[in-house]
Structure 1
Amino acid sequence: MKLLPTLVLAGGLCSVAALPLQAQQLRLPVMSPTVRMRQDFSTSYIELAYGRPSKRGRDIFGKLEPYGQVWRTGANSSTRIKFGEEVKFGGQVVPAGTYALFTIPDPKEWTIILNKDTSQWGAYDYRPELDLARVKAKPRTSNTAAESFSIMLENLQPAAADLTLRWDKVRVSVPIEADADARIMAQIQDAMKTDKKPYFAAAQYYYSTGKDLNQAITWLDESIKQQPSYYAYYWKGKMLQKANRNSEAAEAARQSLALVKQEKNEHSRDEYTRLNEQLLKEVKGKK
């Protein structure tokens, strides 16, 4: 019986001795968690990676992050932004690639910087000679304070968006634009030289962007020759309607309705039936 306390004590001593090793294995909450995001944009994407600090009762701009000094624009490693294609960043041309995103806060005008050195921790080794672009942006004041710093892509359009930084009561935005049309037109031109010509996709793009309707209709006819489909006939009808060729548009809608009856997917069948019936109503009695 006297051995038991000794064994318990020995066990307790072993536990105490093991504590430092166990503490190294703990998974603790991260004060400034890393955010990684990828957004489809234009014909490619935009990626962001940054540490997201919190306010925690502190005064941020002018205090924690001094005015007039280069800020890593987040926490921990420097913030990184990657463009999958050439863009205009605040009006300045930026080639596809990955860049460090730095800022210089100011009460009246921020400086947003894209720098070629993406391997930095913070902004301690920031070198202005590696800047690719510097953009001025006016800060806006919000009524409510954001507890956590965030970088977002707002007002997203097919080839345009605003990169918005927000923390505390401050918001700063920089416009990003891409010339998607030039790339898509180049893709179409190259693809039409191959054996697998994208007739349907090219026709839809021409229609949606207000380009040559006759060319779009010609491509749709080629698509229908290869594989007649209710959706190709429907879109041919829409293009003919836009070209004021209403009797031909009505005929295309009727052909689409005949084919859609064979569609096994109930939702697709109902949707294209509705669309074609609507198209017929719109062109009825029009020449």
Structure 2
Amino acid sequence: MKNLLLSLFVVAISFSTTAQKKIPASPSQKVEQTVGLSTITVEYSRPGVKDRTIFGDLVPFGKVWRTGANQNTKITFSSDVTVADVTLKAGTYAIYTIPNKESWDVIFYTDATNWGNPKEWDEAKVAVKVSAEVYPVPDTIETFTILFDDLKNTSAVLGFLWESTYVGVQINVTN
């Protein structure tokens, strides 16, 4: 009798655990890149196109976007870096963007604890804001992707890729 009850208990627990698991609509990703002696880590959620028009519609032009889905995208630098000739101290920043048709403003924000966009935008928390050119991509990129490309000993380009758009921002390390 004890074995039967134990077996039923195990089956009930495994069923309830399985029933509670849900595949997220925008799965999370963590990307880490070593540049020189520095490590850069990005944590973000990856929404999909899902037969929608993204830029200029789902993500309106000219408005602050959390640059991904769910909680805000975070970037962590293990040592000081420069972006657009501005030094960012080692630490964690939120990445926000303002997409436009021809260019994006990419914003490194000192408060990385928000869920999505801050309730009240604080310009004093903008560590650096850089304009980056939009490049068309010939194929549709279904899932929002952040990557590192053009990797060199002292720099890398932080790239944003989604729908038919690529935007890149150079980050220089100060080893």
TM normalised by structure 2 equals: 0.86
1:142 equivalent in structure 2: 137
SS at match of 2:150: strand
Structure 2's unaligned 5+ residue stretches are 1-11
The whole-number CA distance in structure 2 between the counterparts of 1:140 and 1:115 is: 24
Q: How does 1:24-43 map to 2 (within 5 A)?
A: 25-43=19-37
1:77 equivalent in structure 2: 71
2:8 equivalent in structure 1: none
Is 1:87 equivalent to 2:81 in the alignment? yes
SS at match of 1:75: coil
Q: Pick from 151, 156, 162: which aligns with 2:157? A: 162
1:12 equivalent in structure 2: none
The whole-number CA distance in structure 1 between the counterparts of 2:174 and 2:125 is: 25
The whole-number CA distance in structure 2 between the counterparts of 1:145 and 1:62 is: 16
- Change over 3 Å in CA distance of 1:26–1:112 after alignment to 2: same
**2:83 partner amino acid:** F
Q: Compare 56-65 and 83-92 and name the one that shifted more.
A: 83-92
The whole-number CA distance in structure 1 between the counterparts of 2:89 and 2:174 is: 12
Q: Pick from 19, 40, 49: which aligns with 2:43? A: 49
1:280 equivalent in structure 2: none
2:91 equivalent in structure 1: 97
Q: How does 1:271-282 map to 2 (within 5 A)?
A: none
Contact 2:80/2:89, CA 8 A, preserved across alignment: yes
Higher strand share: 2
The whole-number CA distance in structure 2 between the counterparts of 1:89 and 1:143 is: 28
Q: CA shift at 1:23, angstroms?
A: 8.4
**2:92 partner amino acid:** T
2:3 equivalent in structure 1: none
Q: CA shift at 1:42, angstroms?
A: 1.7
2:9 equivalent in structure 1: none
**2:82 partner amino acid:** K
What CA deviation, in whole Å up to 9, does each residue of 1:191-227 have, x standing for no partner?
A: xxxxxxxxxxxxxxxxxxxxxxxxxxxxxxxxxxxxx
TM normalised by structure 1 equals: 0.54
SS at match of 1:66: coil
1:282 equivalent in structure 2: none
Q: CA shift at 1:158, angstroms?
A: 1.6
**1:147 partner amino acid:** E
TM-align CA RMSD: 1.8
Structure 1's unaligned 5+ residue stretches are 1-17, 181-287
Higher Cα Rg: structure 1 or 2? 1
What CA deviation, in whole Å up to 9, does each residue of 1:111-168 have, x standing for no partner?
A: 0000011110111424332111000111111111100001000011121110000100
What CA deviation, in whole Å up to 9, does each residue of 1:226-263 have, x standing for no partner?
A: xxxxxxxxxxxxxxxxxxxxxxxxxxxxxxxxxxxxxx
In the alignment of these two chains, the number of paired residues is 161
SS at match of 2:72: strand
Is 1:63 equivalent to 2:57 in the alignment? yes
Q: CA shift at 1:22, angstroms?
A: 3.9
Give the share of equivalent positions with the same residue, in percent: 32
